A and B are shown apart, each in its own frame.
Chain A
């Protein structure tokens, strides 16, 4: 399917995300991380001003999106890979915080696949702001739709 570059620049609806202590615990356990910063309120207060979410935690915004925050050109999940992911932190994030996430399609481009077909790259950027409008983090994701079903 040829890419539809009119998707570039499109934005999803803002997603309001509560940074919850229980979700942080669940997420930390899922990545097998026992750092007390994620579990122990007193320790976390002393070390970091409160419980903080793990580095890759902002991925959990998926739980807060009813579908309207998501802006993604149609991709076939059977042929889609997560190519790259980046997080940038500008201010500390703590449990109890409420963030607003805005996602836009930053870029789309094609490359010939190594095993034939065309690979389509979709770059999505999300900005996370506090309720006072301060930018606290950015996420950048590159999704790749391969020309054929993905095999190693």
Chain B
């Protein structure tokens, strides 16, 4: 029997998801994500290419930050519960930047025969600038 992280009845609209913070992204993080994901756009690992593109240096793939942000949801509901995950990229994250992830439950709903929660997500850097705004939908078990 799978362990239940949370019952639908116990989640409140407006409830905050626990914050998660990654300190100091490194170029190695970008390279590791390039290998893991297959995203070899040189703008994320090649200094020469990054400069030729008008950037001071390489910057994080949006999807690296999106992967980090998704953990705010999976820690709260568990990976199997995730039904939808959506991100919109705002500003970029540079080497040395922190990624601070927060979220909030905005709505409880019934959809496709499941008890679900919907929420919003934010990833910001150490200056509070938005890296990503996002949203999620997850299905939770009802209290027996």
Contact = CB atoms under 8 A, between A and B. Distances in A.
A85 B87 contact: yes
Contact-size category for B: 35 or more
B6 interface: no
A152 B92 contact: yes
Contacts of B29: 30, 32
Contacts of A88: 83-84
A37 to B, nearest CB: 5
A87 B85 contact: yes
B38 A54 contact: no
A47 B80 contact: yes
Interface in A15-53: 23, 26-27, 29-33, 35, 37, 46-49, 52
Contact-size category for A: 35 or more
Main secondary structure of the interface of A (DSSP, over half): mixed
28 contacts: A23-B36, A26-B36, A27-B36, A30-B37, A32-B71, A35-B71, A35-B75, A46-B2, A46-B3, A47-B78, A48-B2, A55-B70, A55-B82, A55-B85, A56-B70, A59-B37, A77-B43, A77-B53, A78-B43, A81-B89, A82-B61, A82-B63, A85-B62, A86-B86, A87-B84, A89-B82, A149-B54, A151-B54
B71 A26 contact: no
Contacts of B33: 30-31
Nearest to A33: B71
Contacts of A92: 80
